[in-house]
Amino acid sequence: MTDRPGPTTRTRVLALSGLAARDRRDDLATEEPLEIRLASPPERRTVAITMRTPGHDFELAAGFLHGEGLAGEIEAIAYCTDDDVPPEARYNTVTVRVAGPLPELPALERHFLTSSACGVCGSASLEALHHRCVRLESALRVTASTLYGLPGKLRQAQGVFGRTGGLHAAGLFTAAGELLAVREDVGRHNAVDKVVGWAALQRLLPLSDHVLMVSGRSSYEIMQKALAAGIAMVCAVSAPSSLAVDLAREFGMTLVGFLRDERCNVYAGAERVEV
């Protein structure tokens, strides 16, 4: 039977400290490909291949598909047992069965199999989002003191990061700062997909009264995934990109950056932050 990959991989390193050296074991964050297939028998199609940290793979697939506009279509998710998948790749291939015929997804395939670009420029990317996303309306209000507590809570919940020091994290919080779910991955966007996928499988979407906290920077890709999930506030430990700020302002989202040491910058939607 093929072993299922775990989130960490054991290795040996030569550790140097000053002029001293010793051989010791170390834990690495596992990075392996995940192939996501869509199926509506007899049709079957690969729509994404992403490098990820194994764990919560079904949530990753569900969150990814929701972000691409396939919410409500999923009937079942399972590891693939198709004849063309060798045994050693079974746990790196997920099949998502959807209701009805498979949608036309040429843009989706191009986006995830060859490039992470969503358009020829920022304006084109935002314009494309208007075809499937609407401006968010949310009564969410969060105090500054609650925001200041989010990074510490997220860090404390990062079990794999504590062992490896090499993973991003995304956490979903209530307006009062209660941590509902945290997911880790080598990719920031994968961590967000896992959190959104968890909420989708729990039938909690949209998340208009919740806060998403990410351990790194906030990019366009993270913001569009949050927008598709209805998340009105996104916070990040580091800086946002210019297109992330444009997206937040265009779609009525609150974007907080450099959230650490009881300090932060609010780049959009400041009315939701109570000082």
CA torsion angle 35 7 200 236 (round to 10): -110
Report pLDDT for 114: 37
The ranges of the chain annotated as CATH 3.10.20.10 are: 32-119
How many other C-beta atoms are found inside a 10 Å radius of the C-beta of residue 70? 18
**pLDDT at 105 > cutoff 90:** no
161: pLDDT strictly greater than 70: no
As annotated, the binding site includes 258-263
CB 98 within 8 A of CB 40: yes
Q: Among 3.40.50.2300, 3.40.140.10, 3.40.50.10800, 3.90.1200.10, what is the CATH number of 142-274? A: 3.40.140.10
The architecture in CATH of the region 32-119 reads Roll (3.10)
Task: Give residue-wise pLDDT tens across range 127-140.
Answer: 888 888 899 999 99
- Rounded Cα distance between 69 and 128, Å, is 12
Say if residue 15's pLDDT is above 60.
yes
Residue 72 has pLDDT above 70, yes or no: no
What is the location of CATH 3.40.140.10 in the chain?
142-274
Q: Which residues are catalytic?
A: 118
Give pairs for 198-205: CB < 8 Å, separation 24+.
198/56, 198/59, 198/63, 198/172, 199/172, 199/229, 200/59, 200/62, 200/63, 200/66, 200/71, 200/74, 200/229, 201/58, 201/59, 201/62, 205/66, 205/71, 205/229, 205/230
Tokens 């990062």, located at residue: 158
What b/e string do you get for 21-35 counting C-beta neighbours within 10 Å, with b at 16 or more? Answer: eeeeeebebbbeebb
Predicted pLDDT at 158: 83
